[in-house]
Amino acid sequence: MSSPLPSSSSSTLLQFNPLPTTISPSFWHALTSLKLNHLRLSEDAIPVMGSYTVGRVVKDRRGGEKGRIVELGGSLSLLEEGLGGGAEAPAEGISVGAHFPTSSASSSSRLSVTVRGMLRNYNTAPQFTSADKNEIFSDLAQEILNDLLTSPDPLDAVTRFTVLAFADLKKYKYYHWAALPALIAQPNWQTSSPGWKSLQEEWTGKGEEEGEVSPRRMQSLAEAFKEHWQRYRGESEAGFCLVKVGSEACQVGMVRDFQTFFAGVPNEERVVLFIDPSATPSVPGWPLRNFLALLSVRFQVRQIRVICWRDELDDNAVGERSIIGNVFLPAEEGQSGSRVVKGDGSLPIAATQSDSARPVAIGWERNTQGKLAPKVADLGPLMDPRRLADQAV
């Protein structure tokens, strides 16, 4: 940490754990009635909301004492309450159910982050098939980059997603494909050795390099972050914050205040925190990817300490599963790839071959086989009255 740009030998490539989607039957049910009653044949994109929670781990109890730890990464769940509840409801009367942030999200005290996206529901399978997905994706990536650069609320763009769907209402089959575009950094972010460490260990353990260590610091961070999360719950803001680490107490700040909040704080001591849906040790979740992009394009961050927050806030053992690590953008070795050009400079974001203003992104959801293809939810057995009648009692 003393040298902001360690040599590549002491660092590893920072990887991100993709965020899969989980879509409940009731979401499709809500979409069905929305389509029948309001959308009808419209294929316009409609705003949807989703949320993700911290990843979890469960112990496989069949292993007894030595039970294996099974990771249960968080997933992006689309909630029917969010259908049409976005900021820019396209038409009157489209909202279904209550507005998301005030209803179900607030009744649960589980740590979750609300995210916004768009859903395009195609009328026919061929339309779904022939939709120019690459263009939709690339446009969204461009929009994300623009918002990261200029939007007053850039965190909204960090987690923006899109879902393409085709609802076969007669058969109660819902084809869908989600994409969470993440801008590709150029060069890629690196984790400095020794890599990710447990936050608790780092802060309340020996504390070699931290010098003064107080167990209260952990508590202080948890409290400050909890306050931050509760204030902004229902917004993407809740999932990300800045942390000023003192020897005893921690302060958290809003990401948009980066310059003022970290004024006078040396680069090496700047810490950011995000709610991490990944449960894989040493691999942070997908939202960090655009978050780092935001930090790098908007605040010229080249090195930062990151806390991947993985604990529920009500736990007594706060910080047990959260991890902390130092990430940096290595100095570019030659011209390894084209970067997005903006004004007279370039951003540390990979650009497409053809157009140096367009960012490269990645993030179509893969199916179970790891292939790029839509998923299908077959709800016939759960929703089709005819087939329900066939279920034996």
Partner 1 sequence: MNAIQTHFWAVRDYLAPVLRESKFKEHGRITPEEFVAAGDFLSYKFPTWSWSAGEPSKTREFLPKDKQYLISRGVPCLRRVSQIESAALGGKKGKGRAGGGVAGDEKMLSFAEGQDGVEGTGGEEDWLATHLDDQQQLEEVGEIADIPDNDPPAGAASLTPGEEDALASQVAGTSLSTAAGEDGDGDDAEVGDIPDMDDEDDDEDGLGGMGAGVVEHDDPATLAPPPSTAAANASTESASSSNNLLSVRTYDCLITYDKYYQTPRMWLIGYDESGSPLKPSEIFEDISSDYAQKTVTIEPFPHKSGLSTASVHPCKHASVMKKVIERMDQGVIEEQKRLRAGGGSSGGTPDEGVAGGAAVADKKKKKKW
Smallest distance, partner 1 to C-beta of residue 245, A: 25
- The reply on whether position 302 binds partner 1 by CB under 8 A is no
Out of 4, 42, 45, 56, name the contact with partner 1 by CB under 8 A.
56
CA triple 292-296-299, angle to 5 deg: 120
Q: Are strands 197-198 and 323-328 parallel, antiparallel or unpaired?
A: antiparallel
Residues 88 and 84: their CA atoms lie apart, in Å, by: 8
Alpha carbons 76 and 22: distance in angstroms, whole number = 6
Please tell me the distance from the alpha carbon of residue 34 to that of residue 332, in angstroms, as a whole number.
50
Q: Which of 358, 349, 360, 303 is nearest to 326 (CA)?
A: 303
Query: Is residue 68 close enough to count as binding partner 1 by CB under 8 A?
Result: yes
Q: Are 85 and 211 in contact (CB under 8 A)?
A: no
For partner 1, the binding residues in 352-371 under the rule CB under 8 A are 362, 364, 366-371
37 touches partner 1 (CB under 8 A): no
Residue type at 203 in one-letter notation: W
Is residue 322 a contact residue for partner 1 (CB under 8 A)? Answer: no
CB of 391 to partner 1, least distance (A): 5
Q: Is 315 in the site for partner 1 (CB under 8 A)?
A: yes
Nearer to partner 1, 110 or 216 (CB): 110
| 36 lies in the binding site for partner 1 (CB under 8 A) | no
Q: At 383, which helix (H) or strand (E)?
A: helix 380-383
CB neighbours of 198 closer than 8 A, spacing ≥ 6?
319, 320, 321, 322, 323, 324
Segments of 110-160 assigned E as strands:
112-122
x/- track of binding to partner 1 for residues 150-169 (CB under 8 A): ----------------x-x-
Q: Count of CB atoms within 10 A of residue 307's CB?
A: 25
Give 249 or 373: the residue with its C-beta nearer to partner 1.
373
Please tell me whether residue 110 binds partner 1 under the rule CB under 8 A.
yes
Q: In whole angstroms, how close is the CB of 183 to partner 1 at the nearest point?
A: 11
To partner 1, the closest distance from the beta carbon of 211 in angstroms equals 28
Among 3, 7, 10, 22, contact with partner 1 (rule: CB under 8 A): 22
Based on the shown chain and the rule CB under 8 A, indicate whether residue 253 belongs to the binding site for partner 1. Answer: no
Asked if 199 and 319 touch (Cβ cutoff 8 Å), the reply is: yes
CA distance 287 to 250: 23
- Applying CB under 8 A, the span of 155-163, 209-217, 254-262, 312-320 interacting with partner 1 comes to 312-320
**Residues touching partner 1, count (CB under 8 A):** 97
Nearest-approach distance from CB 230 to partner 1, in angstroms: 13
The least distance separating partner 1 from the CB of residue 271, rounded to whole angstroms, comes to 21
